[in-house]
């Protein structure tokens, strides 16, 4: 088996199919295409000279020699790409052994052979980060992403740099992006900071908002639901919880807007009609409150049925006037 083929297989095992696409398409880069076009031009020109030799008998060896130099450059570049891939594999093996200085050395060789190899920059970024050269690690991570925006390893590395330099919000953004694209290490890195995985965040915040509501910490509920809505703007429960908390804080106009948004998202969500009814009850609009408690009860939200009964029982009976 050729060394180049062996390198490709190794990188697939290491990085997975998503990150290997660029390597397999290395020869389709713009630089390669330009060189191939130049090589083709040389061949065509040479064929033309064979069929149409110069009439004046001038020696054009020097001209042809210069063109062949360009052709040799094309061959060397193709070889460099393959050699660079081999050095990338060496740098990754050094990562596994945690030999960070060697990672930097071998990845640097790969970059010198092929400055368009995003994996080389990613690997060197790992080495720099582990050695404490955070500025260099950030530059290499950005370079890898510029070359290949699908390099999840680079996003993870950049997240690590941000985390180590105290920029947790930026770190979380990179870890989230890579995690949601299937890079498991980034999921773990995200959890180390937040205590949960990115895909658990909505449920975590919902649960937290419920607990804070039970503790009557309504201001905290408003803060949590605001974060929730930023993450998931179509979450009817987040808007409903926000409505309830704002109603308890006396922010009735804002509460109404949140309840209406929740109803717009999911007209069959029984809880929000109960909360909407409570807003009207606090506004002193008993008929409207009864209406929305009835809707909520009809959607099988049992607390609304109890509220409805109590409100009806306490509502004064208006007697008709008799002459």
Average pLDDT, the chain: 80
What does the alpha-carbon distance between residue 222 and residue 241 come to, in Å, rounded to a whole number? 8
What does the alpha-carbon distance between residue 89 and residue 101 come to, in Å, rounded to a whole number? 15
Lowest mean pLDDT among 18-27, 41-50, 62-71, 86-95: 62-71
pLDDT at 195 over 60: yes
With beta carbons less than 8 A apart as the criterion, state whether 242 and 258 touch. yes
pLDDT at position 269, please?
96
> What tens digit of pLDDT does each residue of 172-187 get?
999 999 999 999 999 9
Higher pLDDT, 185 or 33: 185
Domains of the chain plus CATH, in order, are 3-48+66-194 (1.25.40.10), 200-314 (1.25.40.10)
| pLDDT band of 4, cuts 50, 70, 90 | very low
Per-residue CA distances from 89 to 11, 100, 149 (Å): 7, 14, 21
Q: Which two tokens stand for residue 37?
A: 């076009």
Spatial neighbors of 192 by CB under 8 A, at least 6 apart, are none
> What tens digit of pLDDT does each residue of 251-273 get?
999 999 999 999 999 999 999 99
State the DSSP H helix or E strand holding residue 4, giving kind and residue range, or none if neither: helix 3-15
pTM score of the predicted model: 0.59
pLDDT at position 62, please?
33
Higher pLDDT, 33 or 39: 33
Rounded average pLDDT over 146-164: 96
pLDDT at position 78, please?
80
Q: Which two tokens stand for residue 294?
A: 């009835």
pLDDT at 72 over 50: no
């Amino acid at each position: 088996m050729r060394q180049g083929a062996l390198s490709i297989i190794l990188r697939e095992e290491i990085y997975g199919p998503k990150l290997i696409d660029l390597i397999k398409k290395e020869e389709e880069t713009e630089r390669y295409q330009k060189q191939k076009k130049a090589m083709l031009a040389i061949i065509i020109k040479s064929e033309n000279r064979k069929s149409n030799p110069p009439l004046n008998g001038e020696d054009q060896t020097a001209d042809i020699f210069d063109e062949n130099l360009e052709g040799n450059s094309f061959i060397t570049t193709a070889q460099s790409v393959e050699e660079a891939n081999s050095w990338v594999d060496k740098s990754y093996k050094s990562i596994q052994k945690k030999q960070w200085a060697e990672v930097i050395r071998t990845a640097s060789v790969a970059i010198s052979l092929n400055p368009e190899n995003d994996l080389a920059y990613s690997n060197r970024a790992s080495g720099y980060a582990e050695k404490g050269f955070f500025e260099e690690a950030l530059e290499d991570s950005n370079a890898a992403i510029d070359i290949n925006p699908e390099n999840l390893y680079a996003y993870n590395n950049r997240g690590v740099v941000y985390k180590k330099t105290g920029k947790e919000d930026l770190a979380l953004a990179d870890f989230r992006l890579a995690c949601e694209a299937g890079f498991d290490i980034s999921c773990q890195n995200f959890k180390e900071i937040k205590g949960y995985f990115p895909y658990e965040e909505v449920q975590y915040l919902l649960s937290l908002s419920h607990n804070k509501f039970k503790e009557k910490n309504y201001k905290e509920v408003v803060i949590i639901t605001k974060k929730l809505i930023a993450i998931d703007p179509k979450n009817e429960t987040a808007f409903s919880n926000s409505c309830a908390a704002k109603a308890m804080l006396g922010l009735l106009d804002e509460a109404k807007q949140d309840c209406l948004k929740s109803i717009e998202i999911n007209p069959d969500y029984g809880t929000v009609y109960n909360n909407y009814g409570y807003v009207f009850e606090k506004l002193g609009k008993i008929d409207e409150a009864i209406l929305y408690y009835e809707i909520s009860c009809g959607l099988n939200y049992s607390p609304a049925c109890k509220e409805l009964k109590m409100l009806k029982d306490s509502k004064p009976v208006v007697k008709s006037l008799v002459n």
